[in-house]
Structure 1
Amino acid sequence: MNQKGSGAVTRQTLRYYWSVTRKHWPWALGDLISSLAFTFFLSYLNPYLIGLIVDRVSEGPTQPDQLWTAFGPVVAALVLSNVLGQVGSKLQDYFCAKLEIRASYDLTNLAFDTLSNQSMTFYNNRFGGSLVSQVQRFVGGYSTLCDCVTYSVIAIASSACFTIVMLAGLVPVYVCVLLVLMAVYVLVVYRLYSRILPANAVAAAANNRLSGQLSDSITNILAVKTSGREDYERGRFTQASQEVADADGRRMRANIRCGAATSSIIVVIMACCTVFLAGGNTWFGVAPGTLVMMFTYTNSLTMQFNRLSSMFQTLNRALGDAYDMTQALGEPLLVADEPDAKGLTVTRGAIDFAGVGFHYPDAPDDDKVFDGFDLSIPAGQRVGLVGRSGSGKTTLTTLLLRLADLQEGTIAIDGQDVRGVRQASVRRQIAYVPQEPLLFHRSIYDNIAYGRPEAAPEEVLRAAEKANALEFIEKLPEGFDTMVGERGVKLSGGQRQRIAIARAILMDAPILVLDEATSALDSESERLIQEALATLMTGRTSIVVAHRLSTVASLDRIVVLQDGRIVEDGPHAELVAAGGPYEQLWDRQTGAFLEG
């Protein structure tokens, strides 16, 4: 991994994290103040008060009747210091937790909003499970970073400052030596651990790939089992798991080497402290209580410095975990709305493809699916798109839905260029039923109502009835409350498709796009669904993509595509009589004719 590129991603991660921290600054400020109070009262004021007691004791015995006069104020101050320190500790936990909760909420929304606005090309190149893992690691990285700053960074920085301030006036020579050693320590730690950051990013990426591999295997478990490929998938998973182990091993060895170097500097610091403790009174006349303070403060500081090594490990791990998601958040939106884009208004539903030129983003510019493509569909017309696989049928509907943006020409609905309006408004005007039904792991009712969430229950029921789905739904033990499983796996293919069609019926959009929508149905269900779709298509502009020509034979018009070009265009009977490509396709599907 390029170290320069890794640094840029890390800085971007920190910008994301800082933006949410700044938004919730009162909690961050409370966290800082309470952390400083906790460290000062328990680690610095306490030893200072103990030093006063030691100095008083070293002056000679104290009479019993003078005991409270001599030590009472210091003891009271010591008790108060501990009370304030413990209060600071609990407030530190509270403010830190509140900050993490609120910031994590914002970061989760940021990731969700960004990912949900990405194009299908973005998702086609990534594992869904890996993206889930990346979001979790990105958000978890903030919590890890916040804990690290609260319980390590602030403690270490404040310990260094308090040590210098408390001892500067008492033993200036010692403080100067300590400052030099601390500067050397921080510089060495920073340089060593900045080199480990790429290793952390590599390890996080390996973990994300492992999550993606696991998700891919589980999602397609039926294919794995029916192919008897459990051992093959186990091999792929083992390889991905081994990559994680190797990456973690390299990161661990690098951390240990860095830790060994920093520990050596700690030994030097404590050695200097010991020399000053032994000769401080003789050389500089340092009081016994001050010697106690010197040792206590230095020992506390070195203990904090010992945590500096693990702190950098934690910081590196957190930033490495966030690496992949930060890159994803920085991906340009291949399909983006104009800043002043308005909603699409459909009054008729006329569709015009004019001079359309399109190639997929990951394909060469000259490898075009469409080049100067023209097609006009009048409002209310029912059009079938047919042709061999790869002819551009589904791509055409993808462009209409703005799941991808064309590079040349225009696609207009009622004269409005779809690239000039909000893409969500385009999709709300188009009821889309794909070949593979898009169902959530929710109830049947929720899946149908997804087309129009505000619909009344009786409208949902009517939509199910029109889609020929009501009969099988009512036979289920839980009826409309039946959970369909991930992607609808608890239903048959035909049942899933009928649920998807019911959703489109409920949506009641002026434009209808069916992409092999009846391909999963048996003959009887197809006949009933065709009747429902015929009613649904009445008065609506409809585009039907089909391989089974019986699906489109009764439509107003059939457009035959070949290599992104229109080779035939007309009604079914006219095209059959013409003896061209459509007639050849029709002959291959004997007995598939559906009377219109």
Structure 2
Amino acid sequence: MTVLPQRDRGDAIRTVLRFTFHKWASERRLAWTIALSITLATLADVFVPFFAGRLVDAVARGEMAREAALTEGLWALASMAALGLVFLACRHFAWTAVVPMTLRIMRRVAEGAFGRVQRFSTDWHANSFSGSVVRQITRGMWALDLLHDTLLLALLPSMVVLLGTVTLLAVQWPIMGLVMAIGAIAYVGMTVMLSMRYIAPASRVSNRMDTRVGGVLADALACNAVVKAFGAERREDVRLSGALGDWTRETHRTWMRHTWSGSAQILVLWIVRVSIAGVALALWWQGQASAGDLTYVLTTYFVMHGYLREVGMHVNNLQKAVNEMEELVDLHDVGAQIADAPGAPPLRVTGGEIRFDRVSFHYAGHGTPLYDGLDVTIRAGERVGLVGHSGSGKSTFVKLVQRLHDVSGGEIRIDGQTVADVTQESLRRQIAIVPQESILFHRSLRDNIAYGRPEATTGEIERAAALAHAAEFVERLPQGYDTMVGERGVKLSGGERQRVALARAFLADAPILILDEATSALDSESERLIQEAMERLMVGRTALVIAHRLSTVRALDRILVFERGRVVEEGPHDALMRRPGGVYRRLAERQGEPSLLRDAG
């Protein structure tokens, strides 16, 4: 599985926040409006205790100034009501506006991550669990929702309350403002420290375990046919149990750290509460505060206490969102292993000539290069077989034509255009492939056949199916071309999947064709039908046919025999069979097919 780089705590927060703020840039005006609205709502909440104190003072005047007290009390009540309306309106607007902004950004982030992963190299995908990657994207997408709520609708108003209350109290009673400030700073500092240094490391590990569980589940479910074939359900249960055991252990550690952190935060809040009440009582005793002032101070503290208590949760949520977005951001930071050149034009195929010009290629981790100065020319419209032992270089040859890897040296050209200089999309659109194992989407037969040309008409789809001998079984199905084929096409037999893949290639109508062991592991009837369809498909196209069974290439124009990354023999079947001691002849003799051996000299 691909291991993404792990960042330290500070760098992770900075990186995730930078990523988030960059996404906010596309919604800059709305983000500022939301921040202003929630700030106004919070300031309204901060001033309510002040007028509550004035209301208590008005009531406390007693019978001596009853009418003046009523006027002052009504004014205080009206102010509280007005502030309540401001709070409600601004808060509602902020929460209403953050919903479409968050959804748009979540959608763009998910589309961007999917688009990047789709374009990562085949090596990257070969070293990654698809289930884990899906979990990284979806978990990170939802973490973005939590991050938006935490930053804009939770931490921002909490900071406004802390600054506002400390300022208001300090103006009237400096000692009260100092005590409130020390308590708030101690609480927030402790909360941040616990979150970053105590909870975050455990949370990061538990997230990795969560990703691993997703990968184990996806791996077993995707290969369920193999699991059933070997009666290995119990073995896969044990494998998942092991992954879940690691996840349980690490998640328990994370949750317990949250619990201890919460208890420490509550303890500090109680210390602050008692300190504030004590200072307020002392101010009243010294005649520096009235009953209304005490009400104001205590109500202000209760408001701040609510926000302070939630600051701990918000900081934990911030750290949780950062941990859960970290892998998504790491995906975003993975550079494209194979990238289009700036301003690359599309490939224009006029004939389909393929030329390898002194090509060198080296697989990462291998001590020696596979190709070293390989020169091969395949003429336009030529049908060429690629044969040789496993690992001899024939599959790599067609992967390099598709630019699934970049060459280490030399050039590969199609009709004179270097494949590295044109767009990958245009290159691969000019190549139709029928792989050894035809993988189909869990979609309808119609969608699978038309995948190379989604705009194709029903008539064109049906004609392609007929040419590939697929129409024969499709028309027998109750839902015909609307039949869902199951994940990876599991509802169809191997021969039926191959015929669908051939129909897809017929419909794509690309000038270059690659057939990769398209008839292997099939029954004789399926092989006959597919061989007939392949012969029709190759007409008028440049065709590369990878084969282990040499009977599938004997009628081709030319055969290239690979050995350790070199073309050691080439020519038509008859000529190669007449070479005493030749590599191709030895391969044919080992297979022992009479039709091949009759051609030997």
TM-score normalised to the size of structure 2? 0.94
Structure 1 match to 2:296: 293
> What's the Cα RMSD here?
2.1
Structure 1 match to 2:167: 165
Question: 1:390–1:102: structure 2 CA closer, same or farther, 3 Å change rule?
Answer: same
Question: 1:206–1:592: structure 2 CA closer, same or farther, 3 Å change rule?
Answer: farther
Structure 2 match to 1:214: 217
Post-superposition CA distance 1:445-496 (Å, at most 9, x none): 1111111112222111111100000110100000011111111111111111
Structure 2 match to 1:11: 14
1: CA distance, partners of 2:363 / 2:260: 47
Structure 2 match to 1:106: 108
1:391 aligns with 2:392: yes
Native 8 Å contact 2:58 2:70 kept in 1:
no
Gaps of 5+ in 1: none
2: CA distance, partners of 1:592 / 1:92: 80
Native 8 Å contact 1:382 1:556 kept in 2:
yes
1: CA distance, partners of 2:410 / 2:381: 23
The amino acid that maps onto 1:467 is A
1: CA distance, partners of 2:202 / 2:496: 49
Structure 1 match to 2:529: 528
Alpha-carbon offset, residue 348 of structure 1: 1.3
Question: 1:142–1:455: structure 2 CA closer, same or farther, 3 Å change rule?
Answer: same
2: CA distance, partners of 1:63 / 1:280: 25
SS in 2 for 1:475: coil
SS in 2 for 1:355: strand
Structure 1 match to 2:518: 517
Structure 1 window deviating more from structure 2 (458-467 vs 525-534): it is 525-534
1:123 aligns with 2:129: no
Structure 2 match to 1:255: 258
SS in 2 for 1:169: helix
Alpha-carbon offset, residue 304 of structure 1: 1.7
1:281 aligns with 2:301: no
SS in 1 for 2:228: helix
Alpha-carbon offset, residue 297 of structure 1: 1.4
2: CA distance, partners of 1:143 / 1:505: 45
1:314 aligns with 2:307: no
1: CA distance, partners of 2:345 / 2:93: 48
Native 8 Å contact 1:27 1:98 kept in 2:
no
Structure 2 match to 1:187: 189
2: CA distance, partners of 1:370 / 1:140: 46
The amino acid that maps onto 1:170 is Q
The amino acid that maps onto 1:90 is H
Which one of the candidate residues 341, 345, 351 is aligned to 1:342?
A: 345
Structure 1 window deviating more from structure 2 (11-20 vs 518-527): it is 518-527
SS in 2 for 1:440: coil
1: CA distance, partners of 2:594 / 2:414: 33
The amino acid that maps onto 2:300 is Y
2: CA distance, partners of 1:160 / 1:591: 86
Structure 1 window deviating more from structure 2 (498-507 vs 271-280): it is 271-280
1: CA distance, partners of 2:191 / 2:515: 61
1:565 aligns with 2:573: no
Aligned length: 593
Question: 1:74–1:388: structure 2 CA closer, same or farther, 3 Å change rule?
Answer: same
Which one of the candidate residues 65, 71, 81 is aligned to 2:83?
A: 81
Structure 2 match to 1:467: 468
Question: 1:138–1:592: structure 2 CA closer, same or farther, 3 Å change rule?
Answer: farther
2: CA distance, partners of 1:237 / 1:37: 51
Structure 2 match to 1:140: 142
SS in 2 for 1:341: coil
Counterparts of 1:433-512 in structure 2, within 5 Å, are 433-512=434-513
Native 8 Å contact 2:340 2:423 kept in 1:
yes
Which one of the candidate residues 196, 201, 208 is aligned to 1:205?
A: 208
Native 8 Å contact 2:179 2:276 kept in 1:
no
Native 8 Å contact 1:553 1:593 kept in 2:
no
Structure 1 match to 2:43: 40
The amino acid that maps onto 1:554 is A
The amino acid that maps onto 2:420 is R
2: CA distance, partners of 1:468 / 1:107: 43
Native 8 Å contact 2:59 2:73 kept in 1:
no
1: CA distance, partners of 2:540 / 2:151: 63
Post-superposition CA distance 1:70-105 (Å, at most 9, x none): 433333332222223222332232122122111101
TM-score normalised to the size of structure 1? 0.95
2: CA distance, partners of 1:333 / 1:284: 72
1:367 aligns with 2:364: no
2: CA distance, partners of 1:192 / 1:593: 77
1:586 aligns with 2:588: yes
2: CA distance, partners of 1:33 / 1:22: 16
Post-superposition CA distance 1:527-546 (Å, at most 9, x none): 23323322221221110001
1:265 aligns with 2:268: yes
2: CA distance, partners of 1:72 / 1:231: 75
Alpha-carbon offset, residue 38 of structure 1: 3.0
2: CA distance, partners of 1:83 / 1:4: 45
Question: 1:482–1:217: structure 2 CA closer, same or farther, 3 Å change rule?
Answer: same
1: CA distance, partners of 2:427 / 2:191: 54
Structure 1 window deviating more from structure 2 (323-332 vs 67-76): it is 67-76
Structure 1 window deviating more from structure 2 (246-255 vs 396-405): it is 246-255
Structure 1 window deviating more from structure 2 (244-253 vs 554-563): it is 244-253
Alpha-carbon offset, residue 385 of structure 1: 0.3
Question: 1:3–1:174: structure 2 CA closer, same or farther, 3 Å change rule?
Answer: farther
SS in 2 for 1:517: coil
Alpha-carbon offset, residue 110 of structure 1: 1.3
2: CA distance, partners of 1:62 / 1:538: 110
Native 8 Å contact 2:95 2:153 kept in 1:
no
